[in-house]
Amino acid sequence: KAPLLSIESLRNLPEDQLVHIRGEVKGQEPGRYVRVRDESGQIDVLTGQTTLCPINTVVDAIGYPNISAAEWQLRSGVFREVTGPAAAPGAPARTGPAGARTLRLAQQVRELSVPEAERGLPVWLTGVVTWSSPDSPFFFVQDSSGGLCIMRGESTSAVRPIGRTVEVRGITAMGPFAPVVIASRFDKISEQAPPLAKQITLDYALTGAEEATWVEMRGFLRRIERRGAWNDLEMVTPAGDFTAVLPAAEDVSALVGAVIRLHGVCAANANTQRRLTGITLYVPGAAFAQIEEEAPQNPFDLPTRSLGSLGQFDTLLSSNRRLKVSGVVLHNSPGHLIHIADAGQALLVLSRSQVPLEAGDRIEVVGFPGWQGGRLVLREAVYRKTGRDQQPMPITVRPQQAPAPDLDGQLVKVTGTLIDTAAVGGQFRLSVQAGNLIFEGLLENLGRRPDLPSVPVGAVLSLLGVYELKYDEFGQPDAFQLRLRTPADITVLVRPSWFTRDRILVIASLLGVGILLFVAWVTALRRRVRAQTEQIRRQLQREARLEAELQRASRLESIGHLAGGIAHDFNNLLTVVMGNLSLVRLDRKMETESVEALADAEKAAVRARDLTQQLLTFAKGGAPIRSAVLLPDVVREVAEFALRGSPSRCRFDVAEDLWPADVDKGQIGQVVQNIVINASQAVP
pLDDT for the residue numbered 89:
38
In 3-state terms, what secondary structure has residue 606? helix
pLDDT for the residue numbered 156:
78
DSSP labels, 498-558: SS-HHHHHHHHHHHHHHHHHHHHHHHHHHHHHHHHHHHHHHHHHHHHHHHHHHHHHHHHHH
pLDDT for the residue numbered 451:
61
pLDDT-derived band of residue 541, with 50, 70 and 90 as boundaries? Answer: very high
pLDDT for the residue numbered 605:
81
Using a cut of 0.85, tell me whether the model's pTM lies above it.
no
Rounded to whole angstroms, how far apart are CA atoms 528 and 517?
A: 16
Q: What is the pLDDT of residues 253-272, one digit of tens each?
A: 889 988 999 999 999 999 88
By mean pLDDT, which of 111-115, 226-230, 359-363, 433-437 is the weakest? 433-437
pLDDT for the residue numbered 662:
95
Q: Which residues contact 380 (CB under 8 A, 6 or more apart)?
A: 220, 222, 236, 350, 351, 352, 367, 368
pLDDT for the residue numbered 1:
67
pLDDT for the residue numbered 620:
61
**End-to-end Cα separation, the chain, in angstroms:** 119
In 3-state terms, what secondary structure has residue 128? strand
What interhelical angle do 592-620 and 665-682 show, nearest 10? 120
pLDDT for the residue numbered 98:
47
What interhelical angle do 592-620 and 631-642 show, nearest 10? 110
Report the DSSP beta bridge partners of residue 190: 165
pLDDT for the residue numbered 93:
34
Do the beta carbons of residue 158 and residue 139 sit within 8 Å? no
Q: What is the pLDDT of residues 34-64, one digit of tens each?
A: 988 887 778 889 998 888 888 888 888 999 8
Q: What is the pLDDT of residues 324-358, one digit of tens each?
A: 899 999 998 888 899 999 988 899 999 988 888 88
pLDDT at 596 over 90: no
Report the DSSP beta bridge partners of residue 171: 122, 182
Do the beta carbons of residue 142 and residue 212 sit within 8 Å? yes
Q: What is the pLDDT of residues 502-530, one digit of tens each?
A: 778 889 999 999 999 999 999 999 999 99
pLDDT for the residue numbered 91:
42
What is the chain's alpha carbon radius of gyration, rounded to the nearest angstrom? 58
Rounded to whole angstroms, how far apart are CA atoms 439 and 431?
A: 6
pLDDT for the residue numbered 244:
95
The amino acid at residue 431 is: S
252 versus 608: the higher-pLDDT residue is: 252
By mean pLDDT, which of 281-290, 302-311, 543-552 is the weakest? 302-311
651 versus 312: the higher-pLDDT residue is: 651
Report the DSSP beta bridge partners of residue 25: 36
pLDDT for the residue numbered 449:
47
Rounded to whole angstroms, how far apart are CA atoms 435 and 499?
A: 22
Give the β-pairing of 395-397 and 427-434. Answer: unpaired
pLDDT for the residue numbered 556:
74
pLDDT at 243 over 60: yes
Q: What's the burial of 52, exposed, middle or buried (CB within 10 Å: 0-12/13-18/19+)? A: middle
pLDDT for the residue numbered 138:
92
Max distance between CA atoms of the chain, in angstroms, equals: 177
Rounded to whole angstroms, how far apart are CA atoms 378 and 325?
A: 10
Q: What is the pLDDT of residues 459-498, one digit of tens each?
A: 899 999 999 888 877 777 888 889 998 888 898 888 887 7
Q: How far is CA 323 from CA 155, 199, 256, 346, in A?
A: 51, 23, 18, 16
pLDDT at 28 over 60: yes
- The rounded mean pLDDT for the chain is 84
pLDDT-derived band of residue 96, with 50, 70 and 90 as boundaries? Answer: very low
Average of per-residue pLDDT across 608-624? 69
678's enclosing H/E stretch is helix 665-682
pLDDT for the residue numbered 512:
93
The amino acid at residue 214 is: W
pLDDT for the residue numbered 6:
77
88 versus 68: the higher-pLDDT residue is: 68
Give CA 412 to chain center in angstroms: 45
610 versus 520: the higher-pLDDT residue is: 520
Rounded to whole angstroms, how far apart are CA atoms 629 and 360?
A: 130
For the chain, give the percent of residues with pLDDT over 90. 29
pLDDT at 85 over 60: no
| Alpha helix stretches (DSSP H) within 103-161 | 106-110, 114-117
- Eight-state DSSP code of residue 315: G
Give the β-pairing of 323-333 and 304-305. Answer: parallel
**Of the candidates 655, 618, 609, 617, the residue with the CA atom closest to the CA atom of residue 635:** 655
21 versus 624: the higher-pLDDT residue is: 21
The phi, psi pair for 110, rounded to 5°, reads -65, -25
pLDDT for the residue numbered 516:
93
Give the β-pairing of 361-372 and 276-282. Answer: unpaired
pLDDT for the residue numbered 100:
67
Q: What is the pLDDT of residues 106-164, one digit of tens each?
A: 999 999 999 999 888 999 888 899 999 988 899 999 988 889 999 987 777 888 888 88
Q: Which residues of 339-361 are buried (b: 16+ CB within 10 A; e: fewer)?
A: bbbbeebbbbbbbeeeeebebeb
pLDDT for the residue numbered 250:
86
pLDDT-derived band of residue 294, with 50, 70 and 90 as boundaries? Answer: confident
